[in-house]
Amino acid sequence: MSGDYRAERLELSPEDMRRLGYGVVDLLVAHYSGLASGPVGRKGGRGELEALLREPVPEQPGDPLALLERLPRDVFSNMLHVDHPRFFAFVPGPGNFVSAMADALASGFNVFTGTWFAGSGPAQVELVVVEWLRTICGLPEGAGGLFVSGGSMANLTALALARHARLANRTEGAIVYTSDQTHSSVARGLRVLGFAPDQVRTLRADADFRLPMDQLRREVAADRAAGRIPFCVVANAGTTNTGAVDPLPALAAFCREENIWLHADGAYGAPAVLTGAGKARLEGLGAVDSLTLDPHKWLFQSFETGCLLVRDRNLLLEAFQILPEYLRDTHGASGEVNFGNYGIQLTRSFRALKLWMSLQTFGLDAFREAIARGIKLAEVAEEALAEDPTWEIVTPAALGVVTFRFNADAEASAVDALQGRIVEATMAEGFALVTSTVLGGRPVLRLCTINPRTSDEDMRETVHRLAATGTRLAAEMNG
């Protein structure tokens, strides 16, 4: 590094900043352009990583350019690339380069979006992007929301809002309803908010993994008869397990009649509303009281980009606003939006910039196509699975998810164990990554196909290799 490197001021010279910055960009460009031809990633062992990375805190300055060699070698090589076109595990994070650059800008300018006073321009951008999402999801005017760290925080914030709006924050005897397909972040959010397990009715989903309306009606009636207070239903707008969508129009009508808050978790599936097929599946999305979105999933943003939309945005202020004296100068004039009073975080980064820059760069139509591609890829996978009788398709392609089992001539428990072993062997091979889940009490394999950079050939070759791995492991098991 050059001579005017001022370590004691934590400062680099302009020239060194450029060298580091260009080095970072070069590394990212190499990552994006080499991703498809490399392995989907690896999980390092603890001992191996301790040996590579354990060291005392460095007292003396070092060369950041050397770190750009060390990082890909020792750190980034020991992770799963959630943006790899053959990463079909959990919910992928396809991301996009523009979002990554927006993150760098937000971080470089260290944008504070808690108050209008400190970040009026950024707050206005957030208002605009929230409004775009509101119209995309079909919520009425008057709806609003905010960016948060992810789906978990959006669900927590929504549940806190529901507690405020329907219970005036008094939780005793209050009951929330959801299905057994709901993401665990909802149970965690309820736990954080002080709801006891017996205040949560987890209804067994129907044969299509959707929340059963009849049972919901019965449970709500029984709770009311017993003097309890049904206050919130959490519906799924795309379950993590199978992409199932709960009956949103019926739920919205029921919740309105019963004065129950309806929250939909669309962290995974809601962006599919941008496509024809997704819109049909997600009918009623705009009728909910609150909606979780997770742009770091199917809107292709880098982590951590979550979003909560709320039918009546004024409730957010009611629920979360606190006006301490040390922020008196920021309380602001009417029309000035202090996002720090709309949720839990005061200091918050400029997450909206990522989606704003991505949409400005590629246009919404490209997003539509990218999402439609994810829906189609699951159908390609399903077709490939259907060609081979060793596969049982457990749930057909829905919102970019398909689940299936490798069937072998063995006891049920051995076939169950085989599914997990296929995951392990596939991960060791490194070509693609799939994970498993449990449906109807039995392990199944699951592909989540939301990366628009996945080719049809990637998809078919993955299914083909899974079959070869399953056949080999089944033969070993029987031999």
Ligand X SMILES: Cc1ncc(COP(=O)(O)O)c(C=O)c1O
User: Is residue 44 classed exposed, middle or buried when 0-12, 13-18 and 19+ CB atoms within 10 A define those classes?
Assistant: middle
Ramachandran angles phi, psi of 35, nearest 5°: -55, -50
Q: Is the Cβ–Cβ distance between 190 and 176 less than 8 Å?
A: yes
Region of 81-89, 146-154, 397-405, 451-459 interacting with ligand X (CB under 6 A): 146-154
- Quick one: 100 or 399, whose CB is closer to ligand X? 399
3, with CB counted inside 10 A (0-12, 13-18, 19+), is exposed
Region from 7-15, 56-64, 145-153, 394-402 binding ligand X, contact rule CB under 6 A: 145-153
CB 378 within 8 A of CB 452: no
First to last CA, the chain: 61
The three-class DSSP label of residue 436 is: strand
CB of 374 vs ligand X, minimal distance in Å: 14
Q: Considering only residues 88, 268, 391, 404, which one is a binding residue for ligand X as defined by CB under 6 A? A: 268
**To the nearest whole angstrom, how small is the minimum distance from the Cβ of residue 129 to ligand X?**
17
> Segment near ligand X (CB under 6 A), from 150-158, 275-283, 332-340, 470-478?
150-158
- Looking at the Cβ atoms of 297 and 421, the one nearer to ligand X is 297
CA distance 154 to 150: 6
- Min CB(257)–ligand X separation in Å: 26
Query: Is residue 266 classed as helix, strand or coil in its secondary structure?
Result: coil
Nearest distance, CB of residue 293 and ligand X, angstroms: 10
Distance of CA 10 to the CA centre of its chain: 35
Among positions 114, 150, 189, 443, the unique one binding ligand X when judged by CB under 6 A: 150
Spatial separation of the C-alpha atoms in residues 212 and 292, rounded to whole Å: 21
Output 337 or 399, the one with its CB closest to ligand X. Answer: 399
Residue 240 binds to ligand X (criterion: CB under 6 A)? yes
Nearer to ligand X, 401 or 423 (CB): 401
* CB nearer ligand X, residue 115 or residue 182: 182
Residues in the interface with ligand X (CB under 6 A) total 13
The label of the residue with tokens 């439609």 reads 372
Closest CA to 245 of 273, 203, 275: 273
| Residue from 12, 82, 91, 125 binding ligand X (CB under 6 A) | 91
Query: Based on CB atoms, which residue is closest to ligand X, 243 or 286?
Result: 243
Candidate ranges 42-50, 149-157, 242-250, 459-467; the one touching ligand X (CB under 6 A): 149-157
Per CB under 6 A, which of residues 159..188 are in contact with ligand X?
183, 185
Stretch that binds ligand X, among 204-212, 250-258, 265-273, 464-472 (CB under 6 A): 265-273
Please identify, using beta-carbon distances, which residue of 338 and 395 lies nearer to ligand X. 395
* Residues in 287-316 that interact with ligand X by CB under 6 A: 294, 306
CB-wise, 179 or 338, nearer to ligand X? Answer: 179
**The token pair that represents 405 in the structure block:** 């089992």
DSSP secondary structure string for all residues of 113-170: -S-TTT-HHHHHHHHHHHHHHHHHHTPPBTBEEEEESSHHHHHHHHHHHHHHHHHTT-
Nearer to ligand X, 151 or 374 (CB): 151
User: Least distance from C-beta 42 to ligand X, angstroms?
Assistant: 22
Radius of gyration of the chain (CA): 24
Contact between residue 103 and residue 273 where contact means Cβ atoms under 8 Å apart: no
Exposed e or buried b per residue across 395-418, where buried means at least 16 C-beta atoms within 10 angstroms of its C-beta:
bbbbbbbbbbbbebeeeeeebbeb
151 binds ligand X (CB under 6 A): yes
From residue 334 to residue 353, the character string flagging contacts with ligand X as x (rule: CB under 6 A) and all else as - is: --------------------
- 265, 289, 382, 458: which one contacts ligand X (CB under 6 A)? 265
Give least dist CB 296 to ligand X, A.
6
Closer Cβ to ligand X, 377 or 384, answer by number: 377
Whether the ω angle into residue 283 lies within 30 degrees of 0, i.e. cis, is: no
Quote the CA–CA distance of 257 and 250 in Å, as a whole number: 11
Please, which residues have CB within 8 angstroms of residue 25's CB and are 6 or more apart in sequence? none
Q: Which is nearer to ligand X, 189 or 470 (CB)?
A: 189
Sites of contact with ligand X (CB under 6 A): 91, 150-152, 155, 183, 185, 240, 265, 267-268, 294, 306
